[in-house]
Structure 1
Amino acid sequence: MKEEEIRGLVAGVKDGSLSRRSFMQRMAAVGIMAPIASQILAWNDVAMADATVKYKPTKAGGGGALKILLWQAPTLLNPHFAAGTKDQIACRVFYEPLAGWDKEGNLFPQLAAEIPSKANGGLSADGKTVTWKLKQGVKWHDGKPFTADDVVFNWEYAADPATAAYTTGSYKDIKVEKVDAHTIKVIFKEPTPFWADPFVGVVGMMVPKHLFAEYKGAKSREAPANLKPVGTGPYKFVEFKPGDILTGERNTDYHVKNQPQFDTIEAKGGGDAVSAARAVLQTGEYDYAWNLQVEDEVLKRMETGGRGKVVAVPAGDVEFITLNTTDPWTEVDGERSSAKTKHPTLSDPKVRAALNLLIDRDSIEKFIYGRGGIATASFVNEPKQFKSTKLKYEFSIDKANKILDEAGWKKGADGIREKDGKKLKYVFQTSINAPRQKTQAIIKQACQRAGIDLELKSVTASVFFSSDVANPDTYTKLYVDMEMYTQTQPQPDPERFLNQCVSWEIASKENKWLGRNVSRYTDPEADKAYKAAQTELDPAKRAALLIKVNEIFCEANVLLPIISRTVVGAAANNLTADISGWEVTTWNLAAWYRS
């Protein structure tokens, strides 16, 4: 579609001759998906959507208890330290950002009074400033007012290197100014096409200045509120047992009229995905079960119980394997997998290429995931304009053997390949989860036929996805040769998602392993393309740059994508839950209701 055609359609939306839905459909027909279509409208002074699900209750409260199963149990409640999705979900029960992303990829105001646009003066023409107007009358759970001072403080808190925040990448290169008590301005160093990152979604949850001010920097882990949150959200904190249960009660002073309906909330951790699905679909003990990475055939059988339904929504999540190009078995300056080291064998690109050929993605999709995902060779899969059309996958044991033969890796008497005294023997870890263990087994079997020995390691999910700096089995430490998990794309634009492919985001002891680049692999061309994308205002050119970053890491066979996952959960038949594939499950928890 030509630029003038798009402008004509935008004009139609502005004058009312074309509905927003029709505009979205026309964009989708030419491959421009909803998130980007929404951004086109925003930049052309067309208001963003201000509603998600239709909320039917006419008063707050009276809904009884809402019971959610997070079978990967949360372990912390400070959103700035929440590297794992389970912890982000738990934090969002109490904390809110200025805006979130709805299921269509539209920005939805939460603590903001409105979404910035050129029309309302929120977006500057040069792409360097964004002005947010804050909702007035919002109170923290302890009764203190929420103001611009809190927003500015969250920037200072996250940007301070000594705080060692998971969110630091979104704040370290910006400046935030207070305009008045309910207005702040975000200032970017360069033109910034994707401005909806700071203060938005999982990285935007606000903590109160009056409780965290003395804990900014080196004392950040000492704050009592790290485990006893005081937020602005729909529920107030009652109790938290890390790795077990989280409870809250309705915020009677919540800033959205008639919300929330439920009087209490319980988020129960532990167990496994299958038992979580059963507790909703068959027994009805719980209202919602999160992240059902369960074989689809199992879910279909459970649905016949009649108590609940499977809820699947499109997302940018990807199940993949990271190959460690550093040495996980040698300690340097108090840490293993140091960026100062090289892996004895996985630093050989031929070995990585062979491993990529030994993943039977089609079988993994067909026999394990079903509705839960589609086989892929691309790390970025949604929205479609950011997906590489160049990356292809293939399963071929013969080709893998040929590559290894030509690279000089010879099979020994035990059938395991070796060269220069180094064997192709690896520890392959993931979290405890039936589909992941079955995927591991499929890959192990193929590797054996190519002379590669895999030792399979399974870690309890609450440990694997923990942010515990003392635990050696967390996924960000990568103290093994290779590991598999799902990476959640937290917003429709993949810029932040791809910062795990840049050199300045390497996970290390220095940043308490909260850096986003877990693989530790770097490429100057990827860094260059990523930096260029951050300031490129032309949508097509910017998409091409981000696709290049994706392709560099996938073609280097450092990130081995397996399945482009949908967000799959289970809900009671009488529960309406607002689930977005671009956000955490609890992103709009206040709007959940029982009919």
Structure 2
Amino acid sequence: MTDTEKTTSHLTRRQALMLMGAAGATGLMGPMAIGRDRAFAANADPSGQLVLAFSQEPTVFNPLMPHIEVDEGVYYAVYDPLFDFDPSGEFFAILAADVPTVANGGISADGLNWALTLKEGVTWHDGTPFTAEDVKFSLELTMDPEFRSFRSTGYKLMKNITVVSDTELTWEMTEPFAPMAAILASTYIIPKHVFEGVADKNDSPLNTAPIGTGPFKFKNRMAGDHIELEANTDYHMDGPYLKTLIIKYVPDLNVMYTQFKSGDIDVIGLQYITPDHLAEAETLEGKVVKISGQATFESIGLNTTRPQFQELAVRQALYAAIDKTSIIDALYYGVPTPTETYMPQQSYYYNPDLPKHEFNIDKANALLDEAGWVRGADGIREKDGVKLAFSNSTTAGNHLREQAQQFIQQTFLEIGVAMEIKNLPPAVMWGDYWMNSEFDSVVVGLNTLAGADPDTSDYFMSTASPVLGGAGQNTFAYNSAKVDELLTKGALSFVPEDRKAIYQEMQAVIRHDLPFLPMFQYSVIKGWKDDVTGPAPNVNNRIDSWNVRDWKRS
């Protein structure tokens, strides 16, 4: 290849990946999807009711505030982003008329100037017209220092957001930022007019009565039980095809499976069918059961502000004392895949060469002995007045996690570590307790990516920790100058090959530091009645209802 050909090739990649910079579900680089704009199709007459079950309760209804995956189960039904990722990792337009690229003039070649065109005629659920002012308001609210934003990454680089017309706006970036489009794809647009006269934007009407442009309208909520949504017959894309969508919460996973088996649940969502029920589930008449890879990884997350977890030797010892293989095989029937990283193995950016975990009680004890942690009369280690004792929390009723906790609790005792199990109802567990790092340690499943893009600044940048005064979801309070440097460097690059080396190095640093103890990448068992069509796996989105607009009953 000549130098000229190399230059042309890199420029083409840069333009094609200006927004994406990521691998799709297959790990291959694909072209940008400008199509799938199906605005104002003749909507089918919605009919029927569907019950979608989650093991946790959605409680955060303003999607720009700190939230977890289960909340997005509601957002995809009620709100819309500008565009989104499909299962192959390509963008498709939703509120945007098309996805901005260098090729179509939506982004300047240097990545610093953006222009966005919106669909015409879209309305909010209350009938108010949707305009560029709503997009401007949503983007600027994330940067408001008085607002509890779920993310600051990317948005803080935007400036001079200008409304050109009701359907056009522009902005500038203070520096090129490759993950920006992926961040926009996970940003749900909210209505500006709902905030008129609201003194505290953290306490708006959206918190209890969300209004969006999405396929379903919020009808009512019975706290602790379910949310009822009704069809938005003025929706701007195909669908919805369901008249009523019930999102039901069933914290006990055995109960959730039983209700799916009996037919009370039409689609079983987060945390799905547990592996101990797989053999029976596959024989159920009238049910579709499929194993699906997910970008989510399970880990023991550590609050690194706690004195027990300050030393690397302690974190290494705890990891060595987890019998990961037995947990996966005995409790999860070998369904999930062991992992050493947060990056899904389907990703182009996955690092396959990280050190492999070894369950070794002798090694764990040796690490703690060498670090000066001495066993007391009760057998629990202590150093400088700090006992190696802490709590571990997760969702009450998740029986597989609870069994894993008990297993880990026993092996930790073998190395002189006392772990108290302190599980909480979902709404409490994943509220301030999680978001504000009030925990000692947790069993948690996380998808740290924004779509298919490898940037994880919102979870691992030191400035993204709420407990340390930042804005983001770094609830581990992880603080690494090297990771900060790599995240910054990776966000400035638009060439996938260059980004790959950066993010693989970052995975190695995090694997060394162990702010969380990685367990496995999810492979989940999904199920729905055979008269339901539409549910589709999407490793680039965080929850099942990403395409709920398309779901139907036959």
In structure 2, the residue matched to 1:229 is 210
Q: Distance in 2 between matches of 1:67 and 1:170?
A: 36
Q: Does 1:263 pair with 2:227? A: no
Change over 3 Å in CA distance of 1:183–1:265 after alignment to 2: same
Matched, 1:586 2:533: no
1:243 to 195, 199, 224: 224
Distance 1:563 1:407, change over 3 A: same
CA contact (8 A) 1:194 1:493 kept: no
Which residue is 2:402 aligned to? Answer: 437
- Is 1:413 paired with 2:377? yes
Q: 1:420 to 1:141 in 2, by over 3 A?
A: closer
Q: 1:50 aligns with which of 15, 36, 39?
A: 36
Q: Is the 8 A contact 1:177 1:186 kept in 2?
A: yes
What is the rounded CA distance, in whole Å, between the counterparts of 2:530 and 2:346 in structure 1? 30
Evaluate the alpha carbon distance shift between residue 195 and residue 170 of structure 1 in structure 2; reply closer, same or farther with a 3 A threshold.
Answer: closer
Report the CA distance shift for 1:82/1:239 in structure 2 as closer, same or farther (over 3 A). farther
Q: Is the 8 A contact 2:340 2:357 kept in 1?
A: yes
Deviation at 1:318, TM superposition (A): 0.7
Q: In the TM superposition, what are the counterparts of 1:2-401 in structure 2 within 5 Å?
A: 33-34=24-25, 37-38=28-29, 41-42=31-32, 47-48=33-34, 50=36, 60-175=44-159, 176-201=161-186, 204-215=187-198, 219-257=200-238, 259-280=239-260, 282-292=261-271, 294-327=273-306, 343=307, 345-370=308-333, 372-388=335-351, 389-401=353-365
State how far apart, in whole Å, the 1-side matches of 2:513 and 2:501 are: 18
Q: Aligned partners of 1:382, 1:492: CA distance in 2, in Å? A: 14
Q: Which residue number in structure 1 is paired with residue 17 of structure 2?
A: none
The answer to whether residue 503 in structure 2 is matched with residue 546 in structure 1 is yes
CA contact (8 A) 2:182 2:453 kept: no
Q: 2:83, 2:184 within 8 Å by CA — same for their partners in 1?
A: yes
Of 536-545 and 146-155, deviating more is 536-545
| CA-CA distance at 1:492 after TM superposition | 3.7
Alignment partner, residue 24 of structure 1: none
CA offset digits 1:390-436 (Å, max 9, x no partner): 23211111111111122222223322222334321221222221111
CA separation of 1:168 and 1:420: change in aligned 2, threshold 3 A:
closer
**464, 475, 479: which one aligns with 1:518:** 475
CA gap 1:193/1:430 in 2 versus in 1, 3 angstroms: same
Query: Could you tell me whether the CA contact under 8 Å between 1:410 and 1:417 is conserved in 2?
Result: yes
Distance apart, 1:125 and its partner CA: 1.2
CA pair 123-277 structure 1, distance change in 2 beyond 3 A: farther
Measured against aligned partners, the alpha-carbon deviations of 1:67-95 in whole angstroms (never above 9, x if no partner) come to: 11122111131111241211221122211
Q: Could you list the runs of 5+ residues in structure 2 that have no partner in the other structure?
A: 13-21
Look up the SS of the partner of 2:500 in the other structure.
helix
Q: Cα deviations across residues 370-390 of structure 1 (Å, max 9, x unaligned)? A: 475211111222443322222
C-alpha deviations, 1:286-329, integer Å up to 9, x for none?
Answer: 211111355413132133222322344333211111222213xx
- 1:562 corresponds to: 519
Equivalent AA in structure 2 for residue 530 of structure 1: L
**Counterpart residue identity of residue 382, structure 2:** E
Q: More deviation in 106-115 or 565-574?
A: 565-574
Correspondence for 1:477 = 436
Q: Is the 8 A contact 1:383 1:492 kept in 2?
A: no
- Check conservation: 1:309, 1:573, Cα contact below 8 A: yes
Q: Distance in 1 between matches of 2:335 and 2:168?
A: 42
**Relative to 1, partners in 2 of residues 1:304 and 1:82: Cα closer, same or farther, differing over 3 Å?**
farther
Question: Which structure 2 residues correspond to residues 452-471 of structure 1 after superposition, within 5 A?
Answer: 452-466=417-431, 469=432
2:445 maps to amino acid: T
The verdict on how the C-alpha distance between 1:214 and 1:2 changes in structure 2, with shifts beyond 3 A counting, is farther
- Determine helix, strand or coil for the equivalent of 2:64: helix
- For residue 337 of structure 2, what is the amino acid of its counterpart? I
* Corresponding pairs, count: 536
1:449 aligns with 2:414: yes
Q: Distance in 1 between matches of 2:2 and 2:339?
A: 30
Q: Which runs of 5+ in 1 are unaligned?
A: 12-30, 328-342
**Residue identity opposite 2:503 in structure 1:** L
- What is residue 336 of structure 1 aligned with on the other side? none
Query: Does the C-alpha gap of structure 1 residues 172 and 288 become closer, same or farther in structure 2, counting only changes over 3 Å?
Result: same
State how far apart, in whole Å, the 2-side matches of 1:271 and 1:372 are.
Answer: 21
Instruction: Label 1:101 to 1:123 Cα distance change in 2 as closer, same or farther (>3 A).
Output: same
* Shift in CA distance, 221/420, structure 1 to aligned 2, threshold 3 Å: closer
| Counterpart secondary structure, 1:582 | coil
**Tell me, what secondary structure is at the counterpart of 2:103?**
coil
| Alpha-carbon distance in 2 for matches of 1:224, 1:319 | 34
Which residue pairs with 2:19 in the alignment? none
In the alignment, the residues of structure 1 paired with residue 512 and residue 453 of structure 2 have an alpha-carbon distance, to the nearest angstrom, of: 18
Say whether the 8 Å CA contact 1:354–1:399 is kept in structure 2.
Answer: yes
Matched position secondary structure for 1:91: helix
Deviates more, 1:224-233 or 1:495-504: 495-504
- The one-letter code of the counterpart of 1:488 is N
Aligned counterparts of 1:580 and 1:91: Cα–Cα separation in 2 = 16
- Alpha-carbon RMSD across the aligned residues, in angstroms, is 2.8
Query: Which residue identity is paired with 2:244?
Result: T
TM-score, normalization by structure 1: 0.83
**Aligned twin of 1:571:** 528
My pick for the range that moved more, 154-163 or 415-424, is 415-424
- Cα shift at 1:135: 1.2
Alpha-carbon distance, 1:350 to partner:
0.9
The 1-side partners of 2:37 and 2:335 are apart by 27
Q: Secondary structure at the match of 1:386?
A: coil
Is the Cα–Cα contact under 8 Å of residues 323 and 558 in structure 1 kept in the other structure? yes
The alpha-carbon deviation at position 589 of structure 1 amounts to 1.1
Residues 179 and 196 from structure 1, CA distance in 2 versus in 1: closer, same or farther, beyond 3 angstroms? same
Question: Per-residue CA shift, 1:478-499, capped at 9, x if unaligned?
Answer: 3332212011245344544343
Tell me the SS of whatever aligns to 2:220.
strand
Contact 2:304 2:310 in 1 (8 A): yes
Q: Say which SS state the counterpart of residue 310 (structure 1) adopts.
A: strand
